[in-house]
Amino acid sequence: MKEFMMLFRHIPNPEYQPSQEDIEQEIKKWQDWIGSIAAQGKFKSTNQLGYTGKVVKPGDVITDGPYAEVKEIIGGYIMVDAENEADAVEMAKGCPILDVGGHVEVRAIMELDL
Amino acid sequence: MKQIIPNLFRTEYSKMVAVLCKVFGISDIQLAEDIVSETFLTAAETWGKKGLPENQVAWLYSVAKNKAKDHFKREQLRINKINPVLKKSQDKQTELELDFGEESIKDGQLKMIFAICHPLLKTDTQIALALRILCGFGIDEIVSALFSNKSTINKKLYRGKEKLREEAVSFDLPEADEIGERLETVLKTVYLLFNEGYYASNPSETIRKDLCLEAMRLNLLLLENKTCNKPQTNALLSLMCFHSSRFEARLNPDGHFILYDEQDENLWDQELIKKGEYYLNIASSGDKLSKYHLEAAIAYWHTQKQNPDRWESILQLYNLLLQLQYSPAASLNRTFAISKARSNEEALKEALKLKLENNHLYHILLAELYKISSPKKNAFHLQKALELCKSEYEKKIILEKLGK
């Protein structure tokens, strides 16, 4: 098994005002997808990221982030164990971010001998 | 008379050993056990000749007290003989204080739980020691409860006690800052003790029930203590209440398991279901979601047979449970919940992602999911399950499904 990180990227739509029911449905979809990975014993951890933040640059320059300069943001990530890259990609195919026009970036974790 | 002494042994052995260890320390637990065993031998002899005393428990406590005192006197004499210089300081030593009051017993048992469920001990050793020292099981009963043999159990008990001595484990409750981690080990052992009784295909119904009741008793003991009364402690008791509410309904007259779907709900113990709900409510007060919370909530939904949202709720709880801790059983149960909450097709898609080809329950599940769509595949997986299955009873059920 190799470790992979999947980054959920999308362009937020500030006009989208989901109802309570929409939110519940959305949570269910995500939980089903993560549960499916966990049921294969391949889940490690996951986090959703907040919509605001700061960007720190050299020379003590701090800007509001993350969307001051980029439209697309990282909404969250999941860490998984996969047999290989193809297996990780297969898992990513069910990610609910794809349903809202976003995409998943699948990256292998580099093993460092320190 | 025949049943009185074994019954007293079951309830009093652990209390007496615990109180003695408060004075001797856990390192001398063997001595404490010997004194208590001797007390029961004396009881059997004396009561056999002179008849039962009026208050048998008080009789046992006072005899144990005397035996402990005699032992200390002998020890002192021995030490004095070897080294007379020590005599003076020994003389000043206060009388051996043994308090068999209710509070002292509870305090001793709680300390014993933490000593036995010490992370230094292996889980199976913890379970064997717990059965012996916390639950007062005889060796034969432990052998039967754990499906083991005498020499293995004796070795386990011996090595466990040696380890407690070698590592100089203290007979005290852990400090507040380490209670969280220690409590986790304790809860895990209580949970396994319960499961041993609830799920193990042990032929003796009495032993199964005893194991479950003992686990619940220990859990109650933990709840009575402020530091141990945490949300997860309540959640675990809630889980065990819900499970044991189905105790009468889940076995047929031959002592074999009846599937949940086919159980007679009228046999479910409503009192225990209410208790389960009560403890689950208390458990919800914290901000930490333990696996006991999730399992208790799943067990709760299983008692709500009429509620249409039941399976969707169970599915979502399994999603969370698997993120906390993977297990093949939870993974299969999640897939089954999908078939109930959504459809067989969706469940099948998920089932095929699981790499559980060597698990006979996996093939039974697949057979179930293929039942309508593909009789051929249904038969294939039942055949697979039959090859992998080890229990004669389950084989019989699979054969019935195969129409043989």
Q: Using one digit for the tens of pLDDT, what is the confidence trace for B11-33?
A: 999 999 999 999 989 999 999 99
Task: Say if B114 falls within a structural domain.
Answer: yes
For residue B192, which amino acid is it?
L
Pair B84, B150 in one domain:
no
Residue A56 lies in a domain: yes
pLDDT (0 to 100) of residue B342: 96
Residue B31, C-beta contacts closer than 8 angstroms, at least 6 positions apart: B20, B24, B71
Q: In this complex, how many residue pairs, one in chain A and one in chain B, have their CB atoms less than 8 Å apart?
A: 41
The number of distinct structural domains making up chain A is 1
Residue B254: inside a domain, yes or no? no
Confidence of residue A67 (pLDDT cuts 50, 70, 90): low
- Assess A105–B contact: CB distance below 8 Å, yes or no: no
Calpha distance A73→A93 (Å, rounded) = 19
Predicted pLDDT of residue B92: 45
Please check whether residues B65 and B134 belong to one and the same domain. Answer: no
Domain match, B96 and B113 both: no
- Which pLDDT band, with edges at 50, 70 and 90, does A52 fall under? confident
What is the pLDDT confidence band of residue B189, given thresholds at 50, 70 and 90?
Answer: very high
Position B85 scores a pLDDT of: 62
Report ipTM for this prediction: 0.91
Cβ contact A32–B334 (<8 Å): no
Residue B297 resides in a domain: no
Mean pLDDT calculated for residue range A23-29: 95
Is residue B389 assigned to a domain? Answer: yes
In the predicted model, is pLDDT for residue A29 greater than 60?
yes
**B268 part of a folded domain:** no
Q: Is the pLDDT of residue B98 over 50?
A: yes
B379-399 per-position pLDDT tens digit = 999 999 999 988 787 888 899
The answer to the question of residue B320 being in a domain is no
Confidence band of A112 (pLDDT split at 50, 70, 90): confident
Distance from CA of A55 to the nearest CA of B (A): 31
Chain B contact for A35, CB < 8 A?
Answer: yes
Q: Report the distance separating Cα A76 and Cα A102, nearest Å.
A: 12
8 Å CB contact of A36 and B350 = yes
Q: What is the pLDDT of residue B281?
A: 96
Are B72 and B31 in the same domain?
yes
Span B148-167, mean pLDDT?
94
A41 touches chain B (CB under 8 A): yes
Partner B contacted by A67 (CB < 8 A): no
Report CB contact under 8 Å: B355, A40. Answer: yes
Residue A41 scores a pLDDT above 90: yes
Average pLDDT (B205-210) is 78
Condensed to tens digits (0 to 9), the pLDDT of residues B296-315 reads 999 999 999 889 999 999 99
pLDDT at B76: 79
Which residues of chain A are within 8 Å of residue B320 when distances are taken between CB atoms? 31, 35
pTM equals: 0.88
Which residues does chain B have within 8 Å of residue A43's beta carbon, measured at their own beta carbons? 322-323, 326
**Backbone dihedral region of B93: left (phi > 0), alpha (psi from -120 to 50 degrees) or beta?**
beta
Q: Hey, are the CB atoms on A43 and B322 less than 8 Å from each other? A: yes
* CA–CA dist A49, A37 (Å, integer): 20
Amino acid (one-letter) located at B149: N
Instruction: Reply yes or no on whether the pLDDT at B288 is more than 80.
Output: yes
Q: Cβ separation of B322 and A28 shorter than 8 Å?
A: no
List CB contacts (< 8 A) between A36 and chain B. 350, 353
From chain A, the residues in CB contact with B323 under 8 A are 34-35, 38, 43, 46
Reported as a pLDDT band with limits 50, 70 and 90, residue B72 is: confident
The pLDDT, as a whole number, for residue B100 is 93
The DSSP 8-state label assigned to residue B229 in this structure reads -
Among B180, B207, B229, the domain-final residue is B229
Same domain, B117 and B183: yes
Closest residue in B to A78 (Cα–Cα): B323
Q: How many domains does chain B have?
A: 3
Q: Does residue B394 sit within a domain?
A: yes
Report yes or no: A98 at the B interface, CB cutoff 8 Å. no
Q: Does A79 touch chain B (CB under 8 A)?
A: no
Show the domain range for B372.
355-404
Boundaries of domain holding A70: 2-108
Residue A113, in any domain of the structure: no
For residues B349-377, give the mean pLDDT. Answer: 95
Q: What is the dihedral of CA A14, A19, A20, A21, to 10 degrees?
A: -120
Domain ends where: B100, B121, B146? Answer: B100
* pLDDT reported for residue B270: 95
Sequence length of chain B is: 404
Q: Is there a contact between B319 and A38 if contact means CB atoms under 8 Å apart?
A: yes
Higher pLDDT, B341 or B265: B341
Tokens of B195: 């499961």
Among B41, B71, B100, residue at a domain's last position: B100
Mean pLDDT for all residues in chain B: 90
Closest chain A residue to B313 measured between Cα atoms? A28
Q: Which of B257-266, B349-358, B381-390 is predicted with the least confidence, judged by mean pLDDT?
A: B257-266
Percent of chain B whose pLDDT exceeds 90: 68
The dihedral of CA B331, B336, B341, B344: what is its sign?
Answer: positive
Q: Is residue B393 part of a domain?
A: yes
Write down the pLDDT at residue B255: 67
